[in-house]
Amino acid sequence: MEIILKEDVPNLGNMGDIVKVRPGYGRNYLIPRGLAVLATGGRKRETEHLLRQIREQREKLRGEAQGLGAQLDGLSLTLPRQAGDDDRLFGSVTNRDIEAALVDQGFSVDRRRIVLKEPLKALGVYEVPVKLHADVTSKLRVWVVAL
């Protein structure tokens, strides 16, 4: 099944790309979520116009992401958590916790954009990357402190 991507999809392609996917993935996931449209003969001819619109939208989103990234680069978050004697947390700090702290600071960042390889399980200072756009990655400083 051939589809035209309307948004960037990780490990698949960028906006405007015509890619082949399995029918179930396209029909049940990509198309209902508005991430892609079916690449029919007529749509392939319209793709040039669509690509112009997508390029403009991508540049607009990239500009917004750069603005937000500039604000996030200097940001430092403090997350108080209960910890044991050996500085291990009685739980962990996940991207949801970081998202909630960003919302408290007035920033709207989707938790899927916060890149944590694994949850933070010890006290300390961490550099957490936030992938705002395919070309824009910002770094947050997260302080995990004891209560």
Residues 43 and 84 in one domain: no
Residues 55 and 88 in one domain: no
Nearest 5°: the CA angle 11, 126, 121 is 90
Residues 142 and 113 in one domain: yes
pLDDT digits (tens, 9 = 90+) for 76-121: 999 999 999 888 999 999 999 999 999 999 988 888 899 999 999 9
Assess whether pLDDT exceeds 90 at residue 45.
no
What domain range is 84 assigned to? Answer: 70-146
pLDDT digits (tens, 9 = 90+) for 23-32: 999 999 999 9
Residues 63 and 98 in one domain: no
Residues 111 and 124 in one domain: yes
How many domains is the chain built from? 2
**Amino acid 20: pLDDT:** 94
Residues 39 and 86 in one domain: no
**Amino acid 127: pLDDT:** 93
Instruction: Place 133 in a pLDDT band, splitting at 50, 70 and 90.
Output: confident
CATH number for the domain including 138? 3.10.430.100
Residues 110 and 124 in one domain: yes
Residues 77 and 142 in one domain: yes
Side chain identity at residue 63, one-letter code: G
CA distance 112 to 19: 23
**Amino acid 6: pLDDT:** 84
Is residue 141 a contact partner of residue 127, using CB atoms and an 8 Å limit?
A: yes
Residues 77 and 24 in one domain: no
Residues 35 and 87 in one domain: no
Instruction: Place 53 in a pLDDT band, splitting at 50, 70 and 90.
Output: confident
Residues 60 and 114 in one domain: no
CA distance 124 to 49: 50
| Least trusted range by pLDDT, from 47-51, 52-56, 101-105 | 47-51
SS3 content of the chain, % helix, strand, coil (to 5): 35, 30, 30
DSSP annotation of 57 reads: H
Checking DSSP bridges between strand 18-20 and strand 2-5, what pairing results, if any?
A: antiparallel
Assess whether pLDDT exceeds 90 at residue 147.
no
| Least trusted range by pLDDT, from 27-31, 39-43, 63-67 | 39-43
CATH number for the domain including 14? 3.40.5.10
Residues 34 and 89 in one domain: no
